[in-house]
Every structure is written in structure tokens, then in C-alpha cells.
Amino acid sequence: MQVSEHRRGPIRSEAARVAILDATARLFETRGYDHLTMEGIAAEAHVGKQTIYRWWPSKGALVADCLLEGRLLVGGYTPADSGDLRADLATWLHVMLTFVERQGGDSLVLSLIAAATDHSDVGARLAEGLGANSLLRARLESGVAAGQLSPERPLEELAEAFVGVALVRALGRTSSSAAEARRIVDAVLGGAAPSAPATP
């Protein structure tokens, strides 16, 4: 009786796996999702196409794995904590919207949305990658602790709303000023915002 659970022959090459995911992330960031091709990835990774198809069914699955291993959206963007929740959220949103609409062509976020439409795992991880479950949520919790936000509001869903607005603006290529970002924050959190008269 054999000890190994593996039947026979060579095991999966970790070098190939890493090279493929690296190539995917690199090409995804530089060329965008719709210009990403299996043949391009194979060439970039110096790997046979069959090696890719043996382990991943589609380019969407590749992108999903990259997202899962943190090769995309590295680090994320941590919202500041100045003590003023609305101002911090407005800054976060403004940075996010600016990041979203950079360049004329494919922004990274737009490419991720495209990837999400044909692979559900990308979509599932997209909101989190943009901070819905971690960075942004942490700032919201801090706001609750500071009494600037009702503890009754579900933070998960609130964070989703902010990410959602960013996605809508990304899809509409709507350019958004800092004042616009502030207005969004006030719209979602509620009208108690006498300090900043928005003039876009």
C-alpha cells in the first residue's frame, strides 16, 4: 500500500502555477480584462496552454485566483480616521472615484467589473477587495464608537452602498468632484450636514 495520496507520476509544478498567476496579474493590470488572452498568458509565463487549461477552466477563474491571493488591488485603500466620519468617508469616496476614472481607457476597476460579470467569484470578492468588509467597514465601526453613526445601522450593508455608488459612477464614467463625494456621503448617512455647502 502506498503512503502518498497521489497516484503516480510528477506532481503539480508550483513554479508554473506562480508564473501563470503572475503573468495573469501583470497582463490584467497593463492591458485590461478584455485584452487578456489565454495564449498571451501562456506566452508571458513561458508555459504551455494545456498547463493552464489543466488547472483553470477560464480566464475569469484565473483572475478570481489572482484576486484571492492578493495579486490584484494590493493593499487596498485605507480610509483616514480624523475623527470626522463624514469627511473621512467623503475623502475615501473621492479617492475611489478618482482611482476609478483614471485614464481614458480601461481602468482597473472597470476591468474587474468586466471580469466579475463572467465569473461569480470575482464579483463575490470585488466588494471586499474595495473595502466593503474590511477597511471601509472598520472606519464605519470607528464612527459608531465615536457616536457619529447609529449603532442600529447594519454596517455591512452600509459599506456595500458606498461601494455600490462607486461602481455606478465607474460604469457611467461620471467624473466626480470632492463636493460631489461629500454630497453622496450626506445622501446616504442622512441630512445632518450643515457644515459643507456643496458647490460642484
Q: Which residues bind a copy of itself (CB under 8 A)?
A: 33-34, 110-111, 113-114, 116-118, 120, 122-124, 126-127, 132, 150-158, 160-174, 183-184, 186-188, 190-193
Residues 80-119 binding DNA (CB under 7 A) are none
Minimum separation from the CB atom of position 14 to a copy of itself (A) = 30
Residues 27-66 close enough to bind DNA by CB under 7 A: 35, 37-40, 46-51, 53-55, 58-59
CB of 6 to a copy of itself, least distance (A): 34
C-alpha cell at 151: 449603532
Q: How far is the CB of 61 from DNA (least distance, A)?
A: 10
Query: Mind spelling out the 3-state secondary structure of 44-91?
Result: HHCCCHHHHHHHCCCHHHHHHHHHHCCCCCCCCCCCCCCCCHHHHHHH
Using CB under 7 A as the criterion, which residues of the chain lie in contact with DNA when the complex forms? 1-4, 6-13, 15-17, 19, 35, 37-40, 46-51, 53-55, 58-59
